A and B are shown apart, each in its own frame.
Chain A
């Protein structure tokens, strides 16, 4: 067992435990904090995959923006948090069965496929530059890139419109 495998296993344990706490803890503030732990350990996994750019993006976008936005909304909808009894609906055993089935099926699928035990080749030093060029290359991903831009703009305007307070109503 190499050092990278040990780091991977430790990160996996942290990620899975914190993800379990995210979906089970009754206190929503704690759930948001555990979500930050999960997202950070996923960033560690990206480093292990030598995708350092994505590790940084994960920290900036997920931990820095999305998790903090979650925290804001948890605070703004505060009365709902702790004083309403159990946080799991009465359908939770079925949800657990479905989740276990999904995990079992995916694991069976992964185990039955012939997958490489080690990566092919090395990540080129210019991989981030290649990604940037491919995103604006007409032969590459410029249309998905532009659609994502329009989607983000629409989400921005939609979010502002939906959450707007009308003074007279």
Chain B
């Protein structure tokens, strides 16, 4: 069988890549893609712990379902915001959206 720490280390690597994407990319849509990678890493962790610790209880799966719902809501609102920002600034580069900067 696959040891549990293989899943956790893979999820950690996926999380680190998502973190890099969020911090380093300029395009706001790419930043949202990084957030998606991080949420997926979290979901791998939740389901791996569910399978290896308590597969007879639905707790781990319930957490994963909530993460799915939150991810869908976050993407819908985020992308709508980017479309609105694009209409106003003609750009989705995160360093050019500086209306609140003085």
For A65, A76, A145, which residue has the most chain B Cβ atoms within 10 angstroms?
A: A76
Within 8 A of B (CB), among A40-85: 42, 45-46, 48-51, 53-54, 57, 61-62, 65-66, 69-70, 72-74, 76-77, 79-81, 84
Chain B residue at minimal CB-CB distance from A85: B26
| Cβ–Cβ contact B29 & A77, under 8 A | yes
Docked complex Cα distance between A99 and B84 (Å)? 30
| Cβ–Cβ contact A16 & B10, under 8 A | yes
Docked complex Cα distance between A107 and B13 (Å)? 9
With A70-B29, A141-B62, A159-B80 as contacts: A110 and B92 at CB distance below 8 Å = no
Number of B residues whose C-beta is below 8 Å from A?
76
**SS class, residues of chain A in contact with chain B:** helix
Residue-wise interface mask of A (15-59) relative to B, using a CB-CB cutoff of 8 A (1 in contact, 0 not): 110011011000010011001001100100110111101100100
Chain A residue at minimal CB-CB distance from B94: A89
Docked complex Cα distance between A98 and B21 (Å)? 11
Q: How far is the CB of A36 from chain B (nearest CB, A)?
A: 11
Q: Which residues of A contact B (CB under 8 A)?
A: 2, 4-5, 8, 12, 15-16, 19-20, 22-23, 28, 31-32, 35, 38-39, 42, 45-46, 48-51, 53-54, 57, 61-62, 65-66, 69-70, 72-74, 76-77, 79-81, 84, 86-89, 91-92, 94-96, 98-100, 102-103, 106-107, 110-111, 115-124, 127, 130-131, 133-135, 140-141, 144-145, 148, 151-152, 154-156, 158-160, 162-163, 165
User: Please, could you name 29 A-B residue pairs with CB atoms under 8 Å apart, sorted by A?
Assistant: A8-B2, A12-B6, A19-B14, A19-B18, A23-B24, A23-B34, A31-B30, A32-B33, A42-B43, A51-B64, A53-B61, A61-B71, A99-B16, A103-B12, A106-B12, A110-B12, A115-B5, A115-B52, A116-B3, A120-B54, A120-B55, A122-B55, A127-B61, A134-B59, A148-B69, A148-B70, A154-B73, A160-B80, A163-B83
